[in-house]
């Protein structure tokens, strides 16, 4: 069951099985939550707006987009606005989705049940953001988190925040924490104490967090080759700012006194341990001593679950209950690819043991203990190792919801290197097998020597002091007591009672303004499908579904810098490329509203590096002609009007070929330039509708009412036809 078949390449197979990926597009950094019999998932959006889409499913296989959780990105970071268009390789990075249910006492002392949805994320170049809602469908309200002094937490270059709440026996809130990784050059997860309302880091200080790299203590002889010290001091008299290059150097950190050591290999380019200087009340606590640990999640599998009540033998002895442990998930970088790592302890800060292995207490802020560690998935060998699953969330099908009356677990994960494939990082669903209290996603098979579920005799004892130098280069993670599972490409669908069998269209065609879609409300009565995103936040009032019912009108204005750069066009509405054997995207444009200097068309683009557009341009003489990539054409194709049809066709070779029709769809001609789809800046290929006019530079462009400056033109799009193969 570990090989591909002649069935459809992805998703619901229609026969009770599903094939991975379940979302063959760029749905990276997923996190998933169940609410009753419905599942909700978020995904990173980077420079696309509105930010952080949220999807819904009844069966964990078929998903549909229901909205976005960050409605006003430009209000948080002006670089994401149409005026700047400067959010590439930035914007909304990985986040977490959580449903918090708790009790609190009212004025009479009675317990009252409460419920709130949270998204914690970071705008990579702006800071920590928290969004809240009473319903996952929205409306959502987003704001910056605060540091311990109540200041907006505009700390740069952090990623992957995830909260965790603990409760009293009566269901009231007891304590809260948040984990996040500091990038780049460090990538250590920091565990912060969090306010109960999920909005403030109680031991996070902006002055210390808003620095490049990690604050470190310099030990004698502990300077790795290539490390650069700039001499700035972050407030610790023994500390200085260390800027690190990860080329050929692997790091670990530790605060425990017995792990203070420094080792450099014969080449002089590797240090096994650098000791992080923890500043209680300033930067939280580094809890993982391995360089490059990110994608953090904190979980507890509670006593209300079957697996939570199960037992295993661990460092604390036999008959340990899963529900008594806190689990930390990280994605770590090993030998050129990422893998999932799970760590567990009875305390969220880790456990303390003496030299004889006896438990002597719990870790705490600034003084972490150690964790049991297990690698959960081997590198993926099909179609090649760059497809390894490495980031996501665990989710259950409880016994009351399953058709067989048993509890089932799954892992939603993206996989793949960020810029190897044009779809970038698609999303898969892996069944989970529990062994010795560890959840193993994928296939555990006694017939597979890589995955037996038995003890791994090659495992290197891991003492919590960083990377074992001799282990470097052999794709083997230290302290790996059990062999992990391998990738599962085809599997039975989750046995969910009452789940719909209809294959979802998570990206789709649109006949604008028919009122059939939920989503963002425009100024008119019609709604824009939530499948659509904008490249950066759009200019208010410069698009409409109401001016011409049944059509999308995009008003033209100048690019952000007045250049012909496609990535500075502020009116690009788009959907994601779905990586299937054949894809067709088509639109019909009414050319009557185009004015001199205006271009409108169809485009492919990624996160700011690569694009290919085919548009119609009106010159000063009023002529209309086709233009490829905003460049003067090598030859002229005159467009007679009044309508132009543009089509993008993509095959299994991932090569786009544009076609156009000058006779309103009766025949199509092929444009000679082909484009190999690409990804860039963490973002897969997108297909967009656009218009711009650089004649709009100047006072006329400052008018808020597009009808008052319509002399710069508009483009009316009749429909967007989007078809892709099963």
Give the three-class secondary structure for 629.
coil
Confidence of residue 248 (pLDDT cuts 50, 70, 90): very low
Q: pLDDT value at position 378? A: 58
Which of 133-147, 266-280, 522-536, 652-666 bottoms out in mean pLDDT, i.e. has the lowest? 266-280
Confidence of residue 377 (pLDDT cuts 50, 70, 90): low
Mean pLDDT value of segment 253-261: 28
Mean pLDDT value of segment 515-531: 55
For the cut 60, the answer to whether the pLDDT of residue 411 exceeds it is yes
For the cut 80, the answer to whether the pLDDT of residue 456 exceeds it is no
**Selected residue with higher pLDDT from 25 and 449:** 25
Tokens of 691: 């218009």
For the cut 70, the answer to whether the pLDDT of residue 450 exceeds it is no
Q: Dump pLDDT digits (tens) for 642-657.
A: 999 999 999 999 999 9
d(CA 105, CA 93): 36
Please provide the CATH number assigned to the domain covering 533-724.
2.60.120.200
**DSSP string for residues in 307-370:** HHH-EEEETTEEEEEGGG-EEEEEEEEETTEEEEEEEEESSTT-EEE-TTS-EEEE-BTTB--B
Q: pLDDT value at position 133? A: 98
Confidence of residue 254 (pLDDT cuts 50, 70, 90): very low
- A 10 A CB-CB count for 297 gives 21
Confidence of residue 222 (pLDDT cuts 50, 70, 90): very low
Q: Dump pLDDT digits (tens) for 544-565.
A: 999 999 999 999 999 999 999 9
For the cut 60, the answer to whether the pLDDT of residue 524 exceeds it is no
Phi, psi of 706 (to 5 degrees): -65, -30
**Selected residue with higher pLDDT from 269 and 589:** 589
**DSSP string for residues in 486-540:** B--SEEEPP-BTT---SPP-SS--B-TTSS---S-B-SSS-B--TT-EEESSPPT
Q: For the chain, give every domain's residue range.
A: 11-211+275-492, 533-724
- A 10 A CB-CB count for 147 gives 27
Q: Which of 25-39, 494-508, 701-715 tops mean pLDDT?
A: 25-39
Give the three-class secondary structure for 681.
coil
Question: Nearest 5°: CA angle at 183, between 234 and 385?
Answer: 155
Mean pLDDT value of segment 509-535: 67
Predicted TM-score (pTM) of this structure = 0.87
Question: Nearest 5°: CA angle at 407, between 404 and 413?
Answer: 115
For the cut 70, the answer to whether the pLDDT of residue 276 exceeds it is no
Q: pLDDT value at position 289? A: 60
Chain length of the chain: 726
Can you say whether the dihedral through the CA atoms of 94, 531, 682, 87 is positive or negative?
negative
Q: pLDDT value at position 213? A: 43
Return the closest-CA partner of residue 606 out of 84, 28, 108. Answer: 28
The architecture that CATH gives domain 11-211+275-492 is 5 Propeller (2.115)
Q: pLDDT value at position 553? A: 96
For the cut 80, the answer to whether the pLDDT of residue 484 exceeds it is no
């Amino acid at each position: 069951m570990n090989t591909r078949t002649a069935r459809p390449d992805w998703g619901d197979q229609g026969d009770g099985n599903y094939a991975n990926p379940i979302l063959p597009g760029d749905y990276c950094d997923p996190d998933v939550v169940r609410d009753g019999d419905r599942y909700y998932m978020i995904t990173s959006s980077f420079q696309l707006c509105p930010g952080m889409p949220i999807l819904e499913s009844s069966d964990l296989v078929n998903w549909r987009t229901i909205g976005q959780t960050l409605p006003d990105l430009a209000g948080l970071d002006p670089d994401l606005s149409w005026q700047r268009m400067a959010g590439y390789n930035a914007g909304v990075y990985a986040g977490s989705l959580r449903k918090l249910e708790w009790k609190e006492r009212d004025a009479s002392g009675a317990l009252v049940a409460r419920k709130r949805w949270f998204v914690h994320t970071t705008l990579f170049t702006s800071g920590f953001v928290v969004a809240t809602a009473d319903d996952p469908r929205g409306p959502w309200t987003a704001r910056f988190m605060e540091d311990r002094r109540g200041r907006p937490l505009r700390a740069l270059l952090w990623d992957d925040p995830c909260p965790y709440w603990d409760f009293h026996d009566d269901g009231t809130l007891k304590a809260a924490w948040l984990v996040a990784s500091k990038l780049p050059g460090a990538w250590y997860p920091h565990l912060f104490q969090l306010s109960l309302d999920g909005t403030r880091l109680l031991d996070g200080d902006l002055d210390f967090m808003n620095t490049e790299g990690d604050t470190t203590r310099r030990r004698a002889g502990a300077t790795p080759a290539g490390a650069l010290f700039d001499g700035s001091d972050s407030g610790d008299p023994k500390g200085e700012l260390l800027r690190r290059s990860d080329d050929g150097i692997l790091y670990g950190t530790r605060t425990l006194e017995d792990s203070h050591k420094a080792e450099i290999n014969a080449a002089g380019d590797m240090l096994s341990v650098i000791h992080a200087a923890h500043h209680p009340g300033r930067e939280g606590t580094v809890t993982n001593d391995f360089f490059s640990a990110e994608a953090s999640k904190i979980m507890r599998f509670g006593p209300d679950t079957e697996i939570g009540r199960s037992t295993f033998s661990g460092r604390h002895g036999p008959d340990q209950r899963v529900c008594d442990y806190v689990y930390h998930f990280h994605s770590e970088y090993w030998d050129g690819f990422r893998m999932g790592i799970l760590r567990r302890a009875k305390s969220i800060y880790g456990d303390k043991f003496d030299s004889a292995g006896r438990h002597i207490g719990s870790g705490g802020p600034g003084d972490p203990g150690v964790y049991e560690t297990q690698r959960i998935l081997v590198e993926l060998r099909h179609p090649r190792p760059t497809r390894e699953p490495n980031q996501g969330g665990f989710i259950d099908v409880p016994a009351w919801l399953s058709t067989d009356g048993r509890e089932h677990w799954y892992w939603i994960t993206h996989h793949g290197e960020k810029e190897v494939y044009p779809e970038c990082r698609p999303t898969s669903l892996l069944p989970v097998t529990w062994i010795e209290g560890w959840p193993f996603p994928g296939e555990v098979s006694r017939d597979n020597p890589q995955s037996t579920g038995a003890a791994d005799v090659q495992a290197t004892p891991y003492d919590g002091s960083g990377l074992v130098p001799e282990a470097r280069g052999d794709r083997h993670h230290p302290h790996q007591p059990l062999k992990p599972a391998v990738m599962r490409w085809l599997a039975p669908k989750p046995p969910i009672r009452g789940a719909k069998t209809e294959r979802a269209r998570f990206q789709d065609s649109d006949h604008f303004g028919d009122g059939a879609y939920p989503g963002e409300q425009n100024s008119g009565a019609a709604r824009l499908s939530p499948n659509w995103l904008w490249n950066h936040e759009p200019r208010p009032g410069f698009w409409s579904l109401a001016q011409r019912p049944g059509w999308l009108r995009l008003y033209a204005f100048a690019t952000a810098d007045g250049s012909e750069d496609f990535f500075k066009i502020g009116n690009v509405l788009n959907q994601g490329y779905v990586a299937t054997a054949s894809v067709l995207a088509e639109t019909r444009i009414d050319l009557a509203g185009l004015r001199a200097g205006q271009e409108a068309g169809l485009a492919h683009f990624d996160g700011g590096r690569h694009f290919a557009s085919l548009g119609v341009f009106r010159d000063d003489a009023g002529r209309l002609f086709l233009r490829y990539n905003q460049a003067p054409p090598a030859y002229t194709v005159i467009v007679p009007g009044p309508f132009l049809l543009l089509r993008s066709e993509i095959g299994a070779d991932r090569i786009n070929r544009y076609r156009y029709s000058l006779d309103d769809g009766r025949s199509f001609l092929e444009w000679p330039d082909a484009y190999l789809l690409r990804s860039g800046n963490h973002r897969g290929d997108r297909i967009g509708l656009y218009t711009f006019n650089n004649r709009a530079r100047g006072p006329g462009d400052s008018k808020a009412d597009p009808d008052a400056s319509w002399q710069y033109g508009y483009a009316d799009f009749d429909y967007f036809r989007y078809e892709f193969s099963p």
